């Protein structure tokens, strides 16, 4: 007989490749009613996704040689199991990224029913912004590498539905860089799902207003040591890029 768990609310992170949003996921998990994730895991100075990832839809992509790369869907219960494994106890809230990579609000909306299932119970999509160009120097090498890889990836793709590489590249750029946030915020709201932005560069500068906005969004009280958690990560990034 399965163990009965309290109902949970789910929050997804939506962000461009290269942004340190996996750290934000870990940071949110430190808050009340989240899984209280274990200490930050780093690989060569960078944060791994640590299992907080869900692929709700099968997708296959082919290169010019006809070799396919598949990303198979898996049930949402896997996300719950991983959170229980990596956390310190049970939880009532979850934060994760939806795969495959390279999608933005348009993809989430066009596949609304497949993604917003009863089991997932996604109530919020958190769009990660990074507005301060002075702060981006901390991560510019990582962002250039990842965006370059993504660009190259789309140039050599042929999507299963027959889309050619040029169209795929345009669609990727449109979804990731030029999505009309206000339009999709309104569309999701009409279907009972909230969409909001959090500016990560402001958090890295200890902006109290932005942090309180995040706490309101995730409906959790502020952490007494939130500034120290931010400072620890910024220090890691500075050491990595010096």
H-helix or E-strand spanning residue 211: helix 208-217
- Phi first, then psi: give them for residue 220, nearest 5 degrees: -135, 145
pTM: 0.78
pLDDT tens for each residue of 46-61: 666 555 789 999 877 6
Read off the pLDDT band of 19 (50, 70, 90): confident
pLDDT at 53: 85
- The mean per-residue pLDDT over the stretch 187-216 comes to 95
Say yes or no to pLDDT of 230 above 50: yes
Can you tell me the distance from the alpha carbon of 16 to that of 237, in angstroms, rounded to the nearest whole number?
18
pLDDT at 174: 44
Contact present, 50 and 41 (Cβ < 8 Å):
yes
pLDDT at 102: 57
The more confidently predicted of residues 45 and 107 is 107
Say yes or no to pLDDT of 100 above 50: yes
Average pLDDT, the chain: 78
Contact present, 26 and 47 (Cβ < 8 Å):
yes
- Phi first, then psi: give them for residue 74, nearest 5 degrees: -140, 155
């Amino acid at each position: 007989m399965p163990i009965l768990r309290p109902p949970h609310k789910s929050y997804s992170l939506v962000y461009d490749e290269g942004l340190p949003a996996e750290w934000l996921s870990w940071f949110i998990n430190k808050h009340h009613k989240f899984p209280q994730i274990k200490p930050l895991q780093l690989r060569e100075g960078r944060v791994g996704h640590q299992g907080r990832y869900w692929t709700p839809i099968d997708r296959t992509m082919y290169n010019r040689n006809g070799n396919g790369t598949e990303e198979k869907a898996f049930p949402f219960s896997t996300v719950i199991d991983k959170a229980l494994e990596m956390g310190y106890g049970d939880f009532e809230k979850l934060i994760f990224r939806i795969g495959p990579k390279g999608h933005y609000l348009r993809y989430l909306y066009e596949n609304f029913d497949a993604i917003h299932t009863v089991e997932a119970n996604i109530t919020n999509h958190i769009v990660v912004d990074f507005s301060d160009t002075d702060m981006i120097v901390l991560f510019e090498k990582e962002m250039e590498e990842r965006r370059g890889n993504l660009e190259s990836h789309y140039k050599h793709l042929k999507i299963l539905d027959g889309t050619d590489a040029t169209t795929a590249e345009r669609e990727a750029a449109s979804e990731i860089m030029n999505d009309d946030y206000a339009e999709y915020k309104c569309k999701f709201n009409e279907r009972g799902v909230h969409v909001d932005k959090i500016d990560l560069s402001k958090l890295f500068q200890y902006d109290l207003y932005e942090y309180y906005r995040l706490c309101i969004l995730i409906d959790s009280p502020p952490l007494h040591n939130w500034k120290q958690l931010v400072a620890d990560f910024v220090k890691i990034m500075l050491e990595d890029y010096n």
